Amino acid sequence: MGIFAYQASSAQRIARGTIIADSPLQAREQLRAQGMRVRDLKEVRARGAQGLAKGLTWRRRPDIEVTGLVQELSTLLGAGIPLLEALDAVTMQFGRRFASTLMIVRQQVAAGASLADAFREQPNIFDELCVAMVDVGQRTGMLDEVLAQLAKYRRRSGQLKGRLATALIYPIIVVCAGMAVMVFLSTFVVPKLLETLIEAGRPLPLATRIVKGFSDLLVDDGWLVVLVAIAIVAVVAWALRHRRIQMRWHALQLRLAFIGKVVRLQAIVRMAVMLATLTRSGMEFEQALRLTARATRNLKLRAALEDCQIAISAGRDIAPALAATGAFPMSVIRIMEVGQATGRLDEMLERLAADYDVQVQTATQRLIAVFEPAMILLLAGLIGFIVLAIILPYLEAGNVL
């Protein structure tokens, strides 16, 4: 199977698009059967939908491309452009790999499938939230508005993801630089400076013996240290793939000083924004809560949302169901209660997200304000210890003389 971009004309108009066929001849025959006269036909990518899906598993979902696609489709559909023409227009704006996926989506829609079903066939590209909201938008006839809400949510979600990572860039650079200096001192400086003292048979202070032992380990068995480090990382990564260990790790994250508050606040902001987006798009609250729970990365909070969804399905109100989990602050529970009573739950959730978003920024700044000097002091202490261990034998030798 191949994907072919074509330009063809009929008695009424000139059309451009894509078509899936086994060969260029078959593609021309399909177009002629539709009453089209082929002007130009060019193979774009000779891979089918299944091959494309497998080819994209090597990397994470192209979040930026999907957000751009959703925003562009919302704008074009809002302007009254038909869905197929909108898909043709946005396909040419993306790179070859993502454009190939959109061509397959367009072909499936042209064959009679809904846009949600076409997205569902590409699970490595479009997540469950995207598929569910597109499905709701098509069923309610408000696809452009729902796509606009989805694009807004994806942008805010991306900002939340990147905020903490951006704040940690400087401390990570400092840590890496400090570790590089320590390795350089231990492998190049320490052996040369201590060589004379060792040949003279002078006794070394305790600090110098500790540094020399670490230096000898790196010089003689550096490959073993690297292998052990890789093995530790592999074991930790393997252990974190098990749900029970993941649950304990995520529960520990929520209890850590400084970090736990940031993790909890960030998860609540994502939950509030997602719930507000889904309920505003016309989705039932129970289904919205189910999707929100699946999208929550912290398993402890996800389990709490799942328990809340089960309680609501059994007939309980939102606030008591949330309170029974014990995982959310009282302010969140009160806002849910007021929103349900007044029928303005989406509006109240937006306010909650805005308020907690400010708290996330403040908590992140405080975390970095504590983390940066702590890392600098720790690295300075370690490097200072190495320098002291190098100088101390010479000072003692000078005293003896």
Q: What CATH code is carried by the domain that includes residue 133?
A: 1.20.81.30
Find all residues with CB under 8 Å of 371, minimum gap 6, and list them.
168, 171, 258
On whether both 150 and 244 belong to a single domain, the answer is no
Measure the N-to-C terminal CA separation of the chain; round to a whole number of Å. Answer: 87
% of the chain residues with pLDDT over 70: 89
As a whole number of angstroms, the distance between CA 137 and CA 160 comes to 25
Length of the chain as a residue count: 401
Domain hosting 52: range is: 48-156
Residue 24 has pLDDT above 80, yes or no: no
Q: Tell me: do 217 and 280 sit in the same domain.
A: yes
What pLDDT score does 53 carry? 42
pTM over 0.95: no
Domain identity same for 141 and 242:
no
Distance CA 394, CA 41 (A): 81
The verdict on 10 and 105 lying in the same domain is: no
User: Does the residue 161 lie in any domain?
Assistant: no
Distance separating alpha carbons of residues 219 and 215, to the nearest angstrom:
6
- Domain boundary pick from 156, 186, 202: 156
Residue 162 lies in a domain: no
Q: Are both 25 and 67 inside the same structural domain?
A: no
pLDDT digits (tens, 9 = 90+) for 210-265: 888 888 888 888 788 889 989 999 998 898 888 888 888 888 888 887 788 888 88
Question: Of 113, 134, 156, at which residue does a domain stop?
Answer: 156
Read off the pLDDT band of 50 (50, 70, 90). very low
> Does the pLDDT value for residue 110 go beyond 90?
no
CB burial readout 325-361, b (16+ within 10 A) else e: bebbeeebbebbbebeeeeebbebbbebbeebbeebe
The number of domains in the chain is 3
Q: Which residues, in sequence order, are CB contacts of 154 under 8 Å at separation 6+?
A: 63, 66, 67, 70
State whether 397 and 250 are in the same domain. yes
What single-letter DSSP state applies at residue 282?
A: T
In DSSP terms, which residues pair with 3 in a beta bridge?
20, 45
Whether residue 193 is found in the same domain as residue 152: no
Per the structure block, which two tokens stand in for 185? 């001192």
Looking at the fold, whether 337 and 395 belong to one and the same domain comes out as yes
Q: Is the pLDDT of residue 56 over 60?
A: no
For residues 364 and 269, is the Cβ–Cβ distance under 8 A? no
Q: Residue 119 burial (CB < 10 Å; 0-12/13-18/19+)?
A: buried
Alpha helix stretches (DSSP H) within 141-255: 143-167, 169-184, 190-200, 206-239, 243-255
Q: Do residues 240 and 252 touch, judged by C-beta distance below 8 A? A: no
Q: Among the three residues 156, 180, 214, which one is the final residue of a domain in this structure?
A: 156
At residue 18 the predicted structure's pLDDT band, cuts being 50, 70 and 90, is: low
State whether 33 and 130 are in the same domain.
Answer: no
Residue 49: band (very low, low, confident or very high) from pLDDT cuts 50, 70, 90 = very low
